[in-house]
């Protein structure tokens, strides 16, 4: 998979893309992530990529020219057919595990990070295939949302996580939240680990975990539960 990110703050990404799981996925060649400074794609001699909104009002708007130039340049240099252009936007479809799974199957994603009041709407009309929001709140820019999206996708690429079972049992799989985890010591300040987990009986442990997951989901996220667990 290849992910191309267009931003006016490429340096914001370095610490996140250069650590932990994303760093390993890149090193293993599972994902190629490229950053593009939007200012490299403007013909404005002051490298300006924003302007005042037509019709007045507060704030600045990202101009279409550099964003179109950047996407067209990425597309012509990568020549990947199955690609998707995503605009990070609080007005987009809310990111969830299902969307992350769907998007992780693309060969190429081109992410556009907005800033200021947002982007000129012609970018959305003509260039963007999908708008993704990471939640119902407004952030300063699309950089943090792009990082959230990248993290959620990359861990789903086959071979990225060491143990593929960790994906099968995690929250949102099978419409359930994950069961509680415990590790050593078995008794911490008088709080004991449930005895069943120390029993060595894997069938019973599995049944206990399933019951716990259903109980937890019913209490915290009843909206997720499918009919048979209600």
Which residue number has the CB closest to ligand SAM?
A: 114
Mind spelling out the 3-state secondary structure of 86-153?
Answer: EEEEEEEEECCHHHHHHHCCCCEEEEEECCCCCECHHHHHHCCCEEEECCCCCCCCCHHHHHHHHHHH
Smallest gap from residue 155 Cβ to ligand SAM (A): 19
Show the site string, 67-106: x = touches ligand SAM by CB under 6 A, - = not: ---------------------xxxx---------------
CA–CA gap between residue 120 and residue 64 (Å, rounded): 6
Smallest gap from residue 74 Cβ to ligand SAM (A): 18
Smallest gap from residue 8 Cβ to ligand SAM (A): 11
Nearer to ligand SAM, 115 or 155 (CB): 115
Nearer to ligand SAM, 142 or 177 (CB): 142
Answer for the pair 210, 173: CB distance below 8 angstroms, yes or no.
no
Q: Which of residues 106-165 bind ligand SAM (CB under 6 A)?
A: 113-115, 117-119, 133-135, 137-142, 145
Sign of the Cα torsion 65, 71, 73, 76 reads negative
Q: What are the tokens at 168?
A: 């099968």
Smallest gap from residue 194 Cβ to ligand SAM (A): 38
Q: Where along the sequence are the contacts to ligand SAM (CB under 6 A)?
A: 88-91, 113-115, 117-119, 133-135, 137-142, 145
């Amino acid at each position: 998979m290849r992910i191309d990110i267009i931003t006016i703050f490429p340096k914001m990404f370095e610490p996140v893309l250069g650590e932990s799981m994303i760093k390993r996925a890149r090193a293993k060649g599972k994902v190629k992530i490229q950053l593009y400074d939007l200012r490299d794609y403007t013909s404005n001699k002051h490298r300006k990529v924003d302007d005042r909104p037509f019709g007045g009002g507060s704030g600045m708007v990202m101009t279409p020219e550099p964003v179109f130039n950047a996407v067209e340049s990425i597309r012509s240099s990568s020549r990947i057919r199955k690609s998707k252009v995503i605009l990070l936007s609080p007005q987009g479809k809310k990111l969830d595990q299902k969307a992350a799974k769907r998007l992780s199957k693309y060969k190429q994603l081109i992410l556009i990070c907005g800033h200021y009041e947002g982007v000129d709407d012609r970018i959305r009309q003509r260039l963007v295939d999908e708008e993704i929001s990471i939640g119902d709140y407004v952030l300063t820019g699309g950089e943090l949302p792009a990082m959230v999206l990248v993290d959620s996708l990359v861990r789903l690429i086959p071979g990225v996580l060491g143990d593929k079972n960790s994906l099968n049992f995690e929250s949102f799989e099978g419409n359930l939240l994950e069961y509680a985890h415990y590790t050593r010591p078995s008794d911490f300040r008088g709080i004991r680990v449930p005895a069943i987990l120390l029993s060595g009986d894997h069938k019973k442990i599995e049944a206990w975990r399933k019951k716990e997951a259903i109980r937890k989901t019913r209490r915290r996220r009843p909206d997720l539960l499918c009919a048979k667990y209600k």
